[in-house]
A and B are shown apart, each in its own frame.
Chain A
Amino acid sequence: MKINKLIIYLSFLLPFIWACEDVIKVDLNESKAILTVDAFINQDIAKQTIRLSLTAPYFQNEVTPPVRGAIVTLTNTTQNRVYTFADKGNGNYEYISPNGSPIGSVGNEYVLFVSYNGQVYSSRCISNRTTLVDSIVYEFDERNNEPNNKTGYYAQFYGSDVKGKQDFYWIRSYKNNVYINSPFTINYASDGTRNSTPGLLGSDGLPFIPPIRSRVTDDNDPYQVGDSLRVEIWSINEETFEFLRQVESQMLNGGLFARIPENVRTNITAQSPNTQALGWFCVSEINKRGLKIKQLKEGDHLIQVTKVPNFDKVKFGTLIFPYNFIIS
């Protein structure tokens, strides 16, 4: 075989292989409407709201239909007091304390009753302790103004888990008094971390670590000068922590490695076995702190620390966390 005579012609067009995504229309099965109870309330003196709605077809791109005419009562069984939530006609049921006292305190047990269309639904919850929003800092970051990468003020908060038992928190942040509801900023914690196991390797008593700290800013919509920012830490229980985790994973599910969609659980029980309700009930102790974003001079990399509004005992410099940072 004369190899030197061999000429190999090899050519091939590069296969135009790419994975492509496009939005399509899918006809989903008819869905039945199920009562949804959205009852996250707290032991603050502010107005408490429970929202009742019905589930809607998945692609119906509007607020789910409100439920009117239900009777919503909350019983603090520890203190033996009953609170009636008033129907506002838009799905919201509200309670405003007439004498400025909260509905209860840490450790109280609550029972929620919802009576709608002749059916009674109930749920039970014990409120846990929460921890303090120690401070809020922010910095200006000039970015490319692409999605998830916008120019603006990026804030963080500091705080520590309370030592002792395993605590669960839900950190909620508000921009101009509107709850930041991006699925990318659901911010829950078990002790100081996202997922702590009790014992040596746990994060009992530790300060909240990033990204818990920085999730008070929506990267798609950072703060601008003049915006107000409020961080609230709500105490939750383990079941609620698990629920938030499910909510997060169901909302962020997608892409090549998408999981099979799974139904989030509920802690609302229907008294009649043939009916069903969805939603969640949790009573929290909360601690909050807010500030207004002020212009920082260019070149400053940090920071503004808030004054403590309701909590005089904590002063600057006596902060519990062991991190060094500059206070301008």
Chain B
Amino acid sequence: MKKQLIILFLLISSFGSAQKSTSHYKKVYNYDEYKKDWALVKTITNTYGFIDRKGNEVVQAIYSKIFEFEIQKDGKKYAMFKNIAGQKISANEQKIGENLTLQYGFRYSTFQYMGAGEAYEFGQEKPNTRRPVTGVKNYRQWETIQNYGNFEPRFSLNYEINSSTSIKASYNRMAQYIHLVSNTAAATPVDVWTPSTNNIKPQLADQFALGLFKNFQDNTYETSLEVYYKDMQNQLDFIDNSDLLLNRYLEGDLLQGIGRAYGAEFYIKKNKGKFTGWISYTLSRTERQVNGLNNDDWFPNRFDRPHNLNTSVSYEFNQYWSASANFVLQSGTPVTFPTSRVQIQDYVIPYNVDATRNNFRVPTYHRLDFSVTKINKKKKPNQRWESNWVFSIYNAYNRRNPFTIYFRRNADVPINTEAVRLAIIGSIVPAVSYNFKF
């Protein structure tokens, strides 16, 4: 079974839906290319559909692209993402008085999970256990297996207290129909994506944010303080000992829970003078709660980095020479580590006795980079050719930041277990580069 990820986007404007006349297509493709006796058609507004030999529109020409999601013996399975946003309603800006600006709008998105193909029904099982398949239903080509629709309202407010100070507040809701399922310890390209199905509900997120922005000394310094809270529904997770790759009954191994993310971001930037730079610091949390995992308690998400500090400074010596430095410090991401060893039939098996998820953190990531730039003098004042040299050092103090940590049995003494750190760029990297433009 071949699995591919396909995202179908389409926008129908409020006037786009008027183009339903079946006789005028921009292009009619060959018959039988996708299905016997069907032809793909393209409308003037660049949306696609299908007509049969008689010219009847068998699939309404409202989709922007047609891709296969999954190929099966009896046909192809399609997932379609239709995004209806009345453009005129979707973004409204309103100024109230001198200082207050409101922006609000909404969009409505729908998602159709379509045949041809099989859809599965799963029975109940206690959480964190594979759910058995109780029913398989066959769907014909283009038959809708499951339909989802969501209103996605948004609202934002900007209040200018004076010329250098303003407050912003916003709320928005987002729906996501494509899900990432990954059980690798580190972020790797072997992530599996799955569409929303009859068993997987779309992810919904509501985000609230509030920020204070203030500039000082005639805009020499920009500062801001923002706080946010995000509430998430239908977060996708998976059972222990799940089988995520090439698994026809993948949905039986998946769990859905809730999530939350909140934090505060501090930012200060110096814009003017020989010495410029910025510092940003974010204190945040990203957590989720899934019944059956981590004893039903909240646990940190795999992308949770409570502290995140980024600084960048640069100094201009003169017209030609400048130097800059970056420093990055981030909390390590959470990982699940075993706490114990279980010995069965002389095999040493790692085990987490508290059944906790993401119970440990990879060590803090930090790195310092330097660079010196020399801008080459122009030989003539109106010369178009500009060039510069950059001498840089990446990872200046040679920190071996772990990309991931895993455990293994010692190759020589099988009863011994050890932790292994895997670093991708675990050394200092000097570089010289020459940039030019003309």
Contacts and interface: CB of A to CB of B under 8 A. Distances in A.
Interface in A107-158: 147
A181 B406 contact: no
B339 A29 contact: yes
B258 interface: no
Contacts of A21: 420-423
A181 B346 contact: yes
Contacts of B91: none
A56 B406 CA distance: 19
B150 to A, nearest CB: 30
Contact of B343 (A8, A11, A38): A38
Given A254-B420, A260-B185, A31 B339 contact: yes
Nearest to B358: A260
Nearest to A53: B343
B353 A34 contact: yes
A310 interface: no
A136 to B, nearest CB: 22
Interface in A59-106: 59-64
B406 A1 contact: no
Contacts of B425: 17
A253 B385 CA distance: 54
B404 interface: yes
Contact of A58 (B341, B404, B411): B341
Given A1-B438, A8-B434, A16-B427, A246 B407 contact: no
Given A64-B342, A264-B342, A259 B185 contact: yes
A264 to B, nearest CB: 6
A271 interface: no
Contacts of A26: 337, 360, 405, 419
Nearest to B418: A23
A182 interface: yes
A16 B429 contact: yes
A15 B369 CA distance: 14
A179 B186 contact: no
B350 A261 contact: yes
A23 to B, nearest CB: 5
Contacts of A60: 341
Nearest to B355: A263
Contacts of A24: 402, 405, 419-421
Contact of A22 (B347, B385, B416, B421): B421
A36 B342 contact: yes
A58 B338 contact: yes
A182 to B, nearest CB: 7
Interface in A1-29: 1, 6, 8-13, 15-26, 28-29
Contacts of B346: 179, 181
Contact of B352 (A15, A33, A255, A263): A263
Nearest to A262: B240
A125 to B, nearest CB: 15
**Most B CB atoms within 10 A — which of A31, A34, A147, A279?**
A31
Interface residues of A, number: 70
Contacts of A265: 240-241
A251 interface: yes
B21 interface: no
A20 B398 CA distance: 13
B433 to A, nearest CB: 6
Given A28-B338, A260-B184, A17 B429 contact: yes
Interface in B387-438: 394, 400, 402-409, 411, 413-434, 436, 438
B184 A259 contact: yes
B345 interface: yes
Contacts of A31: 339-340, 353
B349 interface: yes
A178 B70 CA distance: 48
A18 B355 CA distance: 35
Given A257-B188, A264-B241, A62 B353 contact: no
Nearest to B425: A17
Nearest to A265: B241
A251 B409 contact: yes
A61 B433 CA distance: 50
B190 interface: yes
Contacts of A257: 184, 188, 190
Name the prevailing secondary structure of the A interface residues: loop
B344 interface: yes
A10 B184 CA distance: 40
Contacts of A32: 353-354
A42 B188 CA distance: 43
A23 B338 contact: no
A20 B425 CA distance: 8
Given A8-B434, A10-B434, A61-B415, A256 B186 contact: yes
Nearest to A64: B343
Given A28-B337, A31-B339, A40 B432 contact: no
A250 interface: yes
Contacts of A29: 339, 354, 359-360
Given A58-B338, A60-B341, A259-B184, A278 B423 contact: no
B183 A263 contact: no
B427 A18 contact: yes
Contact of B350 (A23, A53, A58, A179): A58
Interface in A195-209: none
Given A12-B433, A147-B411, A57 B184 contact: no
Q: Kindly name the residue among B185, B343, B414, B418 whose own CB sees the greatest number of chain A CB atoms within 10 A.
A: B343
Contacts of B408: 253-254
A55 interface: yes
A10 to B, nearest CB: 5
A9 B406 CA distance: 44
Nearest to A186: B347
A256 B341 contact: no
B335 interface: yes
29 contacts: A8-B434, A12-B431, A17-B425, A19-B403, A20-B400, A21-B421, A21-B423, A23-B419, A24-B419, A24-B420, A25-B419, A34-B340, A36-B344, A38-B343, A55-B353, A58-B417, A64-B341, A179-B345, A250-B349, A253-B350, A255-B422, A261-B337, A261-B352, A262-B241, A263-B241, A263-B355, A264-B241, A264-B342, A280-B344
Interface of B: 183-186, 188, 190, 240-242, 335-355, 357, 359-360, 384-385, 394, 400, 402-409, 411, 413-434, 436, 438
In the A-B complex, list the 8 residue pairs whose CB atoms are closest, starting with the nearest: A181-B346, A31-B339, A262-B240, A55-B340, A258-B406, A26-B419, A61-B416, A31-B340
Given A15-B429, A23-B420, A24-B420, 19 more contacts: A1-B384, A15-B431, A21-B422, A22-B423, A24-B405, A25-B419, A28-B337, A28-B360, A31-B353, A36-B343, A53-B343, A57-B340, A57-B341, A58-B341, A183-B347, A247-B349, A249-B241, A260-B185, A261-B338
